[in-house]
Chain A
């Protein structure tokens, strides 16, 4: 399974894991380039690829474009200014889109049309990204798994499936060198009613269904978007019903991970279990013989938080967090 080095020791397999880039074009490009930069054998993007908001750039009759972004009103007078603002918007993980004011009014009053319009924008952006990854990584021969998370719309997986080289591992058991990877991008229920959520019971059933496809002779990596419950990888600020933070500047951090995921790790004892979802809970923790990791996220600063993991057979040799 593992190639033996001349010394007789099995060679190492190195992977780079990141997640939660939330529409940040800069972070995605860094992710793709991480293969070459860190000289790794595989890349995993563990969910929440899509941005959280769309920013309209409204075209006026006089040729100017108006927009409001990060609390500032902008009147853009030429193509260069429009492009600069678009870059800033994409940098923050939002989607810029140019639109006439009449069309914007029309969409504002029609939720179904608006959703469809926005889905198209997001799908086009994601398709562009996946094509970029396909092009670059196929040349290098780096294995690349890109999975939708709970914040990605249901159609996202389909767009990734269009890829020729990149693999969407969601709800499947896939190969990654000598390892088998069991992946679930859905999360447990959140206060935000995000697009891809499951109850704990549903998550548990889904993982158990996938377990049927595992080969007991091969080492296992779990790629589950939501972190295991109460492990320090899943602490997020406690929220009130109106989504305001309890404690204000000093939030109460409470565990919000999944019990089903925790049970799966305890039951399957994979070599490695990689997670995202909770940006604030960067860390790694030993759960039995498994190393569970959440590299956190800082996508809104253009920083790709990730982790380089060196694996040898059924053990983790080293874990290195990076802020690229």
Chain B
């Protein structure tokens, strides 16, 4: 079969004649999906890590090269997710793709790992909200108003108790939003506006401020800032004296690859719009466009941020990764957003920036809890969890039981991460790559194991007779393999085989232990007269 363009073939037939039938909605715009992908990908956080920790912990990395390499290696996986979602829409992502293509046990193992680590990230983000969202916001206010009480509040938010309390409050509020259906609807409506505020507050405004403010002005504003906090005069000079700039290092390919753990924090999350489905299989462009453009936009923002902060405040940004700020009277090293607030010397702009950064964390948590609830629903429908889990409360019209489970797990995650702040630094990415690797394997097999579904999908092309989807999946497997290797090799990845072996073993254990768990559940359900194997078995359509 050949595909030819309109121009080559002359007048073409009308696409189709639609009947008057339900469900034929207009396709979700790719721009909508793009917003969602960007909102979930936490670009400001990734940029903050690259600017703060890149120079000190990855001295031989070229930040530009690292971002481009991460995009190139992760893009095939993102494209594969788009292809899968076009072929199997509205189906619960990796769980469905793997159970249907490979086998139920592998699908369960993949999804358990994904859900475990995504839930872990809920705790991470809740703690980040305290330390990277509220603490800097109150610190900026404390300096402007020269208020010791606000500084105390800032320190409390950044501390163990504060981050745990804030985290638990956010999880509780998110649960309330999910349980009160009306609240969720309002949240969904507000989400696009929230994206606008975080994009403006945490990206556009900081970039412009740092691009236009001179070094001299920044130094003056920084000195004022520290003075406002009760710190020492001429703080900038004192900081440089106490923590001299690292100086230039040579960049190597290996060094650049090892730093991929930082941009992967964004790129590894950027294709979650694929978890949404549509009534009719999506046209060729929609899901794909939203993902590719989200990757491009994220890459552009990261590169632009690196360029602006690198050119204007290179030495200072490097020092934020290792400098002794406490010595000059600043309780914690500022992230780039706080640096921009300081550079502006303007309280209104500082507040907008702070709100932008706070929204980065706040919007992520209920969204992620919703995502986890979808997996719990899928497990419940397949008989792996009690039917109660997918019950919808008739009064609140929401899955109270499922939200309850997620809330408890999220709260546990908040407490664990709050008590062990060292866990926040990118630990968990390794767990996600396990899922992406299994999806890649499923992607290679899909055109052969699900031949008719593949043939009926919009991405059923072949290159040299080999399914394009399988080729993309092979590239995805290679890309994820390289990224996984860097997560195991990089000293500061949080999952280094040499330095954090127990965490690596934890990641592996979660995947491996899911297999016997599956068989235990299967046996229990069998004793109750329910054969869960039937949930996955395809009836021969002959």
Contacts and interface: CB of A to CB of B under 8 A. Distances in A.
Interface of A: 22, 26, 29-30, 33-34, 37-38, 48, 50-58, 66-77, 81, 84-85, 87-88, 91-92, 94, 101, 104, 108, 114, 118, 150-151, 153, 187, 190, 192-195, 230-232, 235, 237, 239, 242-255, 277, 279-280, 282-285, 298, 300-304, 308, 310, 317-324
B397 A255 contact: yes
Given A56-B13, A245-B26, A321-B382, A195 B285 contact: no
Contact of B32 (A50, A52, A74, A249): A249
A72 B36 contact: no
A38 B541 contact: no
Nearest to A197: B22
A76 B1 contact: yes
A101 B9 CA distance: 14
Contacts, number: 242
A320 B22 contact: no
A320 B90 contact: no
B394 A231 contact: yes
A321 B381 contact: yes
9 contacts: A54-B19, A55-B16, A68-B14, A69-B16, A91-B455, A151-B22, A302-B453, A304-B539, A320-B534
A87 B539 CA distance: 18
Contact of B279 (A26, A33, A194, A279): A279
B273 interface: yes
B20 interface: yes
Contact of A192 (B22, B87, B456): B22
B281 A285 contact: no
Interface in B1-28: 1-6, 9, 11-26, 28
A300 B89 contact: yes
A52 B18 CA distance: 6
B193 interface: no
Interface residues of B, number: 79
Interface stretch (B295-303, B337-345, B384-392): B384-392
A193 B452 contact: no
Contact of A232 (B26, B87, B397, B539): B397
Given A247-B189, A301-B87, A318 B281 contact: no
Given A243-B26, A283-B392, A302-B452, A29 B16 contact: no
Contacts of B23: 52, 192, 279
Nearest to B525: A320
B234 interface: no
Given A26-B452, A192-B24, A322 B14 contact: no
Interface string B365-401: 0000000000000000111000100111010010000
Contacts of B538: 30, 324
Nearest to A58: B13
Contacts of A230: 394, 397
Contacts of B540: 30, 33, 37
Given A73-B9, A285-B391, A318-B529, A301 B539 contact: no
Contacts of A30: 538-541
A254 B188 CA distance: 13
A232 B392 contact: yes
Contacts of B26: 242-245
B485 interface: no
B17 A322 contact: no
A77 B2 contact: yes
Interface string B278-301: 011101110000000000000000
Given A77-B2, A250-B188, 13 more contacts: A26-B541, A53-B18, A73-B4, A73-B5, A75-B2, A85-B1, A232-B391, A248-B32, A248-B35, A250-B276, A280-B90, A321-B382, A324-B537
Contacts of B534: 38, 308, 320, 322
